[in-house]
Amino acid sequence: MRKLYLDNIRWVTVVLVVLYHVFYMYNAEGLPGTAGKITDLEIQYYDIYQYIVYPWLMMLLFIVSGASARYALERHTGREFIKARTVKLLVPVSLGLLTFQFIQGYINMSLSGAADSPDMPLVGKIIACILSGIGVLWYLQVLWIFSLVIVLVKKIDKDRLWKICAKTPVWVLILLGAAVYGAGQILNTPIIVCYRFGLYGLSFLIGYFIFSHDEVIEKTKKFFWLFAAAAAGLCISFCAMYFGQNYADNPVYRSPLFLLFGWFGSLAMISGFAKFFDKENAFTKWMNSHSWGLYIFHYLGISAVALYLAKPGLIPAWASYLLSTIAGFALAYGLYFIISRIPFFRWTVLGITKKKEKKNVQG
C-alpha cells in the first residue's frame, strides 16, 4: 500500500520550495546568485518566510526519501533499485545538463554577471553554463549517492538494526536532536553550501531505519501537538535571533537553533501529515503525480522573470514576485507536460524511460 501521507508531504514540500525560491530570488539578505533586493523597503519583513521553512525543508525531503528507499528495497533487489535510481536521479543531472538544463545554467550565469565577463573564454563559459545548470538538481546528486550507500548498508545490516528501530520510543526521537546537531557540523562543502552530507545523510538514514516503520509513525501521531509546539517555539526564537543574516551559510546553518528547529519542524510535519493527511483525492493525486516535474523545472520560470523583467526594472517589484510565482508553477507544469512526451528528452531530463511512467518517484 502507498503511504498517502508521504505522497502529500512530498508535493506540499515541493510547493513550499517553489515559494521559497521566489523569496530567495529577491532576498535582502545578500544571498549570492540571485537578482537580490528589488524593493525600496528598508527591511523586507516578508523575507521571514525563508527563515521559517529553510531549516527543515530539505531535511524533511531526505527523511521521506530514506523511508521511500526502504519501501522500494522491500519490493526490488539492490541491483534493480540502483538501476532505477540511476535513471531517475543521475541521468537528469548528467545528460540532462547537456540536453536542457544548460538553459538554466545560462540564466544563473547571467544573474551573477559571469556570463558577461570578458576575461572568460567561450569554452569556459559553455562549461560554466552546463555546470551551473545543476541548480536545484543538487538534491538528485546527493540522493543518488545515498541510494548507492543504503544498498550496501542493507546488505551489511541484514535488517537487524532496522527491526530494532521499529521499537524507537518518542523520547529517543527527541534526543535525536543532539545527533542532528552533530551531523550538521560535519561534511559540509565550502562555497556550495547546499551539499550537507552529514546532516542530509543522517536524515536519510533516520527515514530509512526509523520512519519506515508504521509502529513509529503511530507513536509520532500521538505527540503531534508536542512536536508542533516545540517547532513553533524554536521557529520564533530562530527568526528573532537571525533575521537579516545569511541563514544558508556558516555560522547560522550550524547553530543549535537552526538544526533543532529543522529537526522538530520535520517531526511536526511527519506526525501532522500522518495524523491528518493520510488520504487522497483527485487534487492531491494530481499534485503528487506532477511534483517531480514541478521540482525539476520550477526554478527556470522564477529566474527567467528575475533576469529579463525584474532585474532591468521593467516591472514593479510586486509584479516581479507575482510573475515569478506564476512562472514557477506554470512553466514547470508546461515543460513537464511537453518533455514527458518526447522519448529521448523525457529520459535525459526527467529520468522517465517510458511515456506511461509519469508518476512521482522522488523517493
Tell me whether residue 360 is in a domain. Answer: no
From CA 80, how far away is CA 26, in angstroms rounded?
42
Dump pLDDT digits (tens) for 102-114: 999 999 999 987 7
Tell me whether residue 86 is in a domain. Answer: yes
From CA 42, how far away is CA 293, in angstroms rounded?
36
Q: Does residue 88 contact residue 361 with C-beta atoms inside 8 Å?
A: yes
pLDDT tens, residue order, the chain (363 aa): 689 999 999 999 999 999 999 999 999 998 888 999 999 999 999 999 999 999 999 999 999 999 999 999 999 999 999 999 999 999 999 999 999 999 999 999 999 877 677 777 888 888 989 999 999 999 999 999 999 999 999 999 999 999 999 999 999 999 999 999 999 999 999 888 899 999 999 999 999 999 999 999 999 999 999 999 999 999 999 999 999 999 999 999 999 999 999 999 999 999 999 999 999 999 999 999 999 999 999 999 999 999 999 999 999 999 999 999 999 999 999 999 999 999 999 999 999 987 544 444 345
pLDDT at 356: 47
What is each CA distance from 194 to 21, 189, 237, 247, 291, in whole angstroms?
Answer: 14, 8, 23, 12, 21
Q: Is 201 helix (H, G, I), strand (E, B) or coil?
A: helix
Tell me whether residue 221 is in a domain. Answer: yes
pLDDT at 358: 43
Tell me whether residue 335 is in a domain. Answer: no
Dump pLDDT digits (tens) for 305-335: 999 999 999 999 999 999 999 999 999 999 9
Tell me whether residue 218 is in a domain. Answer: yes
Phi, psi of 188 (to 5 degrees): -100, 120
The type of residue at 300 is L
Tell me whether residue 61 is in a domain. Answer: yes
Tell me whether residue 213 is in a domain. Answer: yes
pLDDT at 112: 83
Tell me whether residue 219 is in a domain. Answer: yes
From CA 321, how far away is CA 272, in angstroms rounded?
30
Domain total of the chain: 1
Q: Does residue 210 contact residue 172 with C-beta atoms inside 8 Å?
A: no
| Domain ranges, residue 231 | 4-93+134-289+342-350
pTM beyond cutoff 0.85: yes
